[in-house]
């Protein structure tokens, strides 16, 4: 099995559903990062079979709020001096930009290329978002 050394300082994004790791990698623009990033796909998880993981070295101030929309099972640990200094609980953000995409063909964000898709949370329990442009509702669980 592939062994990836634990990091001394940084962020570990864990319990990502298999296949979502690469999406999160691009969503956080880690492909453009000038720091060390490890994307681990299909790692063995004791609890849930397979999972993806992302380890980011020497960065602690990344904006991770959009991850709550992608995958509610994700856990995030901030690592300092090889110890977990903080566990971040993901909550659904009130507003997201460029994460969800509206698929209403009559929506202005679908027809105009240079409009950023924007959504607002309308129901936290039901994980329901609405498109800011056309008010179409989306459940982010699926």
Instruction: Give the interface with Zn ion as residue ranges (CB under 5 A).
Output: 102, 104, 107, 131, 133-134, 136
Indicate the residue among 99 and 131 with the shorter CB distance to Zn ion: 131
**Shortest Å distance, C-beta 120 to Zn ion:** 11
Indicate the residue among 22 and 122 with the shorter CB distance to Zn ion: 122
- What angle (nearest 5°) sits at the alpha carbon of residue 25, between those of residues 131 and 119? 10
**Shortest Å distance, C-beta 26 to Zn ion:** 22
Indicate the residue among 15 and 117 with the shorter CB distance to Zn ion: 117
- Token readout for 63 is 């904006």
**Shortest Å distance, C-beta 20 to Zn ion:** 23
């Amino acid at each position: 099995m592939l062994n990836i050394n634990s990091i001394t300082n940084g962020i570990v994004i864990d319990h990502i559903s298999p296949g979502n790791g690469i999406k999160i990698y691009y969503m956080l623009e880690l492909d453009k990062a000038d720091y060390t990033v490890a994307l681990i796909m299909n790692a063995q998880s004791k609890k849930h079979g397979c999972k993806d993981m992302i380890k980011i070295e020497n960065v602690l101030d990344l904006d991770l709020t959009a991850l709550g929309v992608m995958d509610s099972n994700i856990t995030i640990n901030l690592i300092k001096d090889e110890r977990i200094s903080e566990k971040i609980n993901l909550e659904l953000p009130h507003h997201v930009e460029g994460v969800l995409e509206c698929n209403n063909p009559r929506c202005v964000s679908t027809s105009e290329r240079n409009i950023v898709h924007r959504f607002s949370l309308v129901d936290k329990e039901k994980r329901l978002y609405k498109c800011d442009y056309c008010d179409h509702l989306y459940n982010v669980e699926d």
